[in-house]
């Protein structure tokens, strides 16, 4: 049976129309690959990216996208000049451009693959327009999960996780009722430095940190994976997506990145989802759900893997993890402050302005100084994010690197 798209207003449509926001990035490019491999039944009608306009122009020409958004006016001019003759999509600019694409009447699925807090306006717009939101951008939930999920519920939007752990949980949750779930286990590869002695962490370079052992991803999430901040963000993401409390979310280190996450039910059954560490699988599932379609990608070969290991995380070596639980417990604007500070800290590390071991203390320092609001409006959330970025930037010269 074919799936029916866009809920009641599009009930008769069987060809879902997709907008890919962040199409020039790691998840965005894989989404276009998946859409193309699914064939003409899946149509890409809109794209958005930041500044890689030449790549975006090529994608727009290849997909025949009707609408394309970029970050700023300058990128829009370069894009217009770079478009091959004949291809004339509408060109939009900035957060308003993203919002317009996310709420277009001819879009059924919004794949949100923008990195960082820049994804939030589009997440809210897609939720308010009642779209299927195939969500890779975890920062929007970390910043404003209560709002995004409430708007989605109010407007009948489906939020389907793309992040591999959350896709695994989403799939495993289907094996029982929500009231029958005892808890979940989020798996973490541990990143490139999990086995490295803590005293060595201060000397690791951005190049080493960008070399993830199992996943190939964009720079921010790769650094977040090395500090385990990515897992902290994912703890918060799981809380919002599935309504789980801090006590219901456990983290285990699983270096093979094969078991993407697990759900434990009240009867003691544990349901896991396994697969190769390849984002194309959860991306495809978010597009075809509730169906499964054949895929051409390399398949999991358990015999050649031999064994799968699991262990409790080292909390002392990776203090970022604890921050995820703290944000769930306190809520309010703390997630926005965490997200904003982390973006600045990761950016500073990538520019060699601070050391790897400065990232988490810098974020913690910002959280300690944060004047927290318990039940914030969207404006207050955006203000907390802006404040945290400013505060983190101010702290940069004070970090241990400069001493």
Inter-residue long-range contacts of 384-388, CB under 8 Å, 24+ positions, other chains counted = 384/333, 384/336, 384/337, 384/340, 385/117, 385/143, 385/336, 385/337, 385/339, 385/340, 386/340, 387/337, 387/340, 388/336, 388/337, 388/338, 388/339, 388/340, 388/341, 388/344
Of 99 and 163, which CB lies nearer to Mg ion in the complex structure?
163
List the beta bridge partners of residue 264. 183, 270
Whichever of 143 and 157 has its CB closer to ligand NDP, that residue is: 143
Among 32, 46, 47, 114, binds ligand NDP (CB under 6 A): 114
Q: Choose the stretch contacting ligand NDP; rule: CB under 6 A; options: 79-87, 216-224, 315-323, 378-386.
A: 216-224
Considering only residues 115, 133, 144, 226, which one is a binding residue for ligand NDP as defined by CB under 6 A? 115
State in angstroms the smallest separation of the CB of 191 from Mg ion: 12
Binding residues for Mg ion, how many (CB under 5 A)?
3
CA distance 250 to 361: 23
367 binds, among Mg ion, ligand NDP, none (CB under 5 to 8 A by kind): none
**Distance in angstroms (rounded) separating the CA atoms of residues 138 and 345:** 17
Q: Confirm or reject binding of residue 218 to ligand NDP (CB under 6 A).
A: yes
> Contact between 237 and Mg ion (CB under 5 A)?
no
What residue 256 binds from ligand NDP, Mg ion, none (CB within 5 to 8 A, per partner kind)? none
Give the residue closest to ligand NDP by C-beta: 25
Least distance from C-beta 121 to ligand NDP, angstroms? Answer: 9
Q: What residues contact residue 201 under an 8 Å CB cut-off, 6+ apart?
A: 193, 317, 356, 357
Determine contact, residues 67/46, Cβ cutoff 8 Å: yes
Q: Residue 385 binds what, of ligand NDP, Mg ion, none (CB under 5 to 8 Å, by partner type)?
A: none
Beta bridge partners of 90: 67
Residues between 147 and 186 with contacts to ligand NDP, criterion CB under 6 A: 163
- In angstroms, the CA 338 to CA 264 distance is 29
Region 127-146 residues binding ligand NDP, contact defined as CB under 6 A: 136-139
Window of 82-90, 114-122, 371-379, 393-401 that interacts with ligand NDP by CB under 6 A: 114-122
Binding mask 250-279 for ligand NDP (x = CB under 6 A): -----------------------------x
- Out of 60, 93, 107, 118, name the contact with ligand NDP by CB under 6 A: 118
Residue 218 near which of ligand NDP, Mg ion, none (CB within 5-8 Å, type-dependent): ligand NDP
User: Is 163 a binder of Mg ion (CB under 5 A)?
Assistant: yes
| C-beta of 25 vs 145, nearer to ligand NDP | 25
Q: Which residues bind Mg ion (CB under 5 A)?
A: 163-165
């Amino acid at each position: 049976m074919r799936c029916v798209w866009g809920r009641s207003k599009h009930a008769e449509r069987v060809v879902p129309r997709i907008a890919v926001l962040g199409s020039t990035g790691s998840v965005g490019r894989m989404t276009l690959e998946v859409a193309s491999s699914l064939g003409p039944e899946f149509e890409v009608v809109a794209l958005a990216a930041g500044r890689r306009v030449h790549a975006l122009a090529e994608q727009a020409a290849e997909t025949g996208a009707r609408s394309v958004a970029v970050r700023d006016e300058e990128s829009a001019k370069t894009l217009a000049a770079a478009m091959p003759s004949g291809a004339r999509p509408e060109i939009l600019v900035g957060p308003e451009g993203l919002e317009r694409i996310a709420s277009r009447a001819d879009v059924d699925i919004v794949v949100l693959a923008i990195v960082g807090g820049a994804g939030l306006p589009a997440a809210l717009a897609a939720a308010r327009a009642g779209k299927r939101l195939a969500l890779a951008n975890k920062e929007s939930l970390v910043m404003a999960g209560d709002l995004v999920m409430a708007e989605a519920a109010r407007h009948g939007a489906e939020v389907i996780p793309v992040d591999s752990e959350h896709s695994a949980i989403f799939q495993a949750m289907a094996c029982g009722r929500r009231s029958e779930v005892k808890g979940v286990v989020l798996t973490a590869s541990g990143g490139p430095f999990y086995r490295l002695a803590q005293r060595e962490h201060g000397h690791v370079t951005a190049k080493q940190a960008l070399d993830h052992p199992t996943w190939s991803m964009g720079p921010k999430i790769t650094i977040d994976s090395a500090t385990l901040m990515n897992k902290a963000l994912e703890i918060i993401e799981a809380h919002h997506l599935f309504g789980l409390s801090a006590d219901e979310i456990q983290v285990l280190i699983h270096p093979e990145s094969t078991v993407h996450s697990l759900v434990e039910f009240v009867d003691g059954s544990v349901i896991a989802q396994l697969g190769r560490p390849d984002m194309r699988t959860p991306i495809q599932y978010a597009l075809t759900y509730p169906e499964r379609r054949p895929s051409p990608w390399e398949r999991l070969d358990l015999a050649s893997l031999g064994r799968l290991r699991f262990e409790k995380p080292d909390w002392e070596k990776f203090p970022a993890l604890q921050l995820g639980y703290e944000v769930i417990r306190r809520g309010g604007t703390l997630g926005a402050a965490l997200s904003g500070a982390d973006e600045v800290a990761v950016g500073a590390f990538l520019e060699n302005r601070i050391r790897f071991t400065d990232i988490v203390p810098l974020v913690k320092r910002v959280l300690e100084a944060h004047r927290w609001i318990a039940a914030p409006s969207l404006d207050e959330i955006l203000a907390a994010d802006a404040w945290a970025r400013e505060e983190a930037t101010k702290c940069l010269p004070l970090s241990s690197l400069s001493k």
